[in-house]
């Protein structure tokens, strides 16, 4: 039986916490900053923990060896 491989793109985009939650970069900061308030831009810095349902999909399909 072949081994399951981690998706290369997922390695670069997601990390797992010690408890198994998935950390990802904040969405919504690529373009269109002129529409957003300074408060929105400030709150979108850094990373965020994905919702449990999204995290389950990432762990199962893209980071099986996570």
User: Does a structural domain hold residue 30?
Assistant: yes
Q: Which domain holds residue 25?
A: 8-62
Residue with tokens 């709150």: 43
Structural domains in the chain (count): 1
Sheet holding 14-16, edge to edge: 14-16, 22-25, 47-49
Give me the pLDDT at residue 1, please: 86
Give me the average pLDDT of each 10-residue run along the chain (66 residues).
94 96 96 96 97 96 92
User: Does a structural domain hold residue 1?
Assistant: no
Strand-pairing partners, residue 24, are 14, 48
CATH number of the domain bearing residue 16: 4.10.410.60
């Amino acid at each position: 039986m072949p081994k399951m491989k981690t998706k290369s793109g997922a390695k670069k985009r997601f990390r797992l916490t010690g408890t198994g939650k998935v950390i990802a970069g904040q969405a919504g900061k690529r373009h269109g900053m002129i529409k957003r308030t300074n408060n929105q831009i400030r709150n979108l810095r850094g990373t965020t923990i994905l919702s449990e349902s999204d995290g389950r999909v990432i762990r199962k399909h893209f980071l099986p060896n996570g």
